[in-house]
Amino acid sequence: MNGFHPRRRQVAVSVTGLIVLAVLWAMLWGDPHPGTIAAGVLIGAVTVFLLPMPRIGFHGRLHPWGAFVLLVKFHIDLVQASWQVSKLAFRFGYTPRGGIIGVKLRRANDLTMTSVAQISALVPGTIVVDAHRLTGTLYLHVLDLDLAGGAEQVRQDTLELEARVLRALAPREELERLGLVRARRRDTGKKEVSQ
């Protein structure tokens, strides 16, 4: 798709958006009847036309293995986070003492920052209070600093989360530059085939 004229690419992107919206619509109605799909396409077209979204600038490639690891770890983290908050909620007579910690991400890219911010709201200990787009800094509120193992530990955990996000969707050169290539063997074989 890279050789396309920029306007053509824009059209391709909104057609993808249209298809996604139509599929979502059909899934919500729970029935793939032609009428439902037609209505989905119509409503999707109106949505895409009236509420154009800014381009996200996705230059990477979805790495299936990285995405799988990210998803599995996210669900484990979600369970742990819920358990942690539950324990604190029933620890009567104890007041959690938190803090707001700034974490500077490696890659100040909209997609990476948004993904990390989204996921960090559901993993143990943190929610995003503020984000600084230019420096790529996330400000995370930690529910209980002692429980989270201190500010440094939170920074390290968040950077690990970012590494997982990058392994799932950053371009290969970027991963190499950041020294994040771990699953090398598995990927080189695949790269030849897919290109």
Partner 1 sequence: MNWSQLADVVAAILLLLGSLLTLVAGVGILRFPDLLARIHAGTKPQVLGLVLVLSAEALRVRSWPVLGMLIVVVIFQFLTIPVAAHMVGRGGYRTEQLDRDLLVVDDLRDDMMAATRAETKPPSYDD
Q: Can you give the binding site for partner 1, defined by CB under 8 A?
A: 24, 27-31, 78-79, 81-82, 84-86, 88-90, 92, 95-102, 117-122, 124, 127-130, 132, 137, 139, 141, 143, 145, 151
Identify the CA nearest to 126 among candidates 92, 90, 151, 107: 151
Smaller CB separation from partner 1, 38 or 100? 100
Smaller CB separation from partner 1, 2 or 95? 95
Where are the strands (E) in 113-182, listed by range?
Answer: 126-132, 137-142
CB of 188 to partner 1, least distance (A): 32
For tokens 């899934």, the residue is: 27
Give the span between the Cα atoms of 158 and 124, in whole angstroms. 10
CB of 181 to partner 1, least distance (A): 28
Smaller CB separation from partner 1, 84 or 178? 84
Give the span between the Cα atoms of 66 and 76, in whole angstroms. 16
